[in-house]
Amino acid sequence: MGTYIAQILIGRSHCNHGGINPSHRIYFYVNGRAALMLFQDYSEYAPPEALKTTWIIPPENELKSALLMIAVHVVKDPEILELAKSFYPDILSDYVEIHERFRTSELEELYEKCNQIKGWPKLVISNFEGQFLLRQLPILEDYDMELEVCVSIYSRYCPWGELITKGSLHFPVERDPGG
């Protein structure tokens, strides 16, 4: 069994409350290879916890691969779908080894097309303990989307019988002047 090291909630923000009304979520999973697991959250069209697809991804572009997965399965951008299917007709399968089915140049072309999408859903990215996605976050500045990024400020765990604590639960809270 591997470990989930980050997640992305995908949906819409509420105009009065912020936050997110999620329609989908992606878990970043690591074991021998990195994987993305996309779930569709409850709606009138699907039962809760419905696993939509799993992608085994290249180790250097985890966040770009997640954005491509969202473009294909959630946004369903016609241009990206057509291009992806021209490279690999079974892109909509429930299990795809992206790093084996696409050439690096094909993935780069798809990643670039993702950057051109207008009207992305809102994303809330949670990076758990460690630096997994933090080094890749700056690419999101170029995307047309609402976005929240959550990072770990405190963790307490017991990996080999010794309790380890990092961070603090005591920190100043800034009140939103508008709320």
pLDDT of residue 40: 87
CB 57 within 8 A of CB 107: no
CB 66 within 8 A of CB 39: no
pLDDT of residue 32: 80
Question: What is d(CA 57, CA 63) in angstroms, rounded to the nearest whole number?
Answer: 10
pLDDT of residue 10: 95
**Alpha helix ranges (H) inside the chain:** 62-70, 78-87, 98-101, 104-114
> Among 134, 65, 149, which residue's Cα sits nearest to residue 99?
65
pLDDT of residue 148: 94
Which residue's entry shows tokens 């758990």? 128
CB 8 within 8 A of CB 26: yes
Give me 131's structure tokens: 């630096």
* pLDDT tens digits along 145-163: 999 999 888 888 887 888 9
Q: For the chain, which residues score pLDDT lower than 50? A: none
Question: What is d(CA 26, CA 42) in angstroms, rounded to the nearest whole number?
Answer: 14
Give the amino acid at 125.
I
pLDDT of residue 96: 96
pLDDT of residue 7: 94
pLDDT of residue 160: 83
